[in-house]
Amino acid sequence: MSTPVTISNEAVILFEEGWYTTEELARVLKVDPSTLRRWRTARPLQGPPFVQVSSRLTLYDVRDVRQWLASRRIDPGKVA
């Protein structure tokens, strides 16, 4: 008999459509919000695509976050 998998509320949000703030995405990715801010200012840019709504508000489209995560996936069976 297998053990049931528990998914946090933040992880469930990842599969819904919409937009994340920096703080919401940081909770989902389990990183500090300052990490996302650093990724946005790094050259070349790092992290998922974002929309700078104002100097105080940056949003991330859930679809972009999913796509970015998929692009970072490493399949150990294909790494040689």
List, for residues 25-78, the tens digit of each pLDDT value.
Answer: 999 999 999 999 999 999 998 999 999 999 999 999 999 999 999 999 998 887
- Which pLDDT belongs to residue 10? 60
Question: How many structural domains does the chain have?
Answer: 1
Element (H, E) at 51: strand 51-52
Side-chain half-sphere CA neighbours of 18 within 13 A: 9
Does residue 1 form part of some domain? Answer: no
Does residue 67 form part of some domain? Answer: yes
CATH of the domain at 49: 1.10.10
Helices (H) and strands (E) in the chain, counts: 4, 3
Domain that holds residue 23: 9-71
Provide the whole-model pTM. Answer: 0.74
Does residue 2 form part of some domain? Answer: no
Does residue 78 form part of some domain? Answer: no
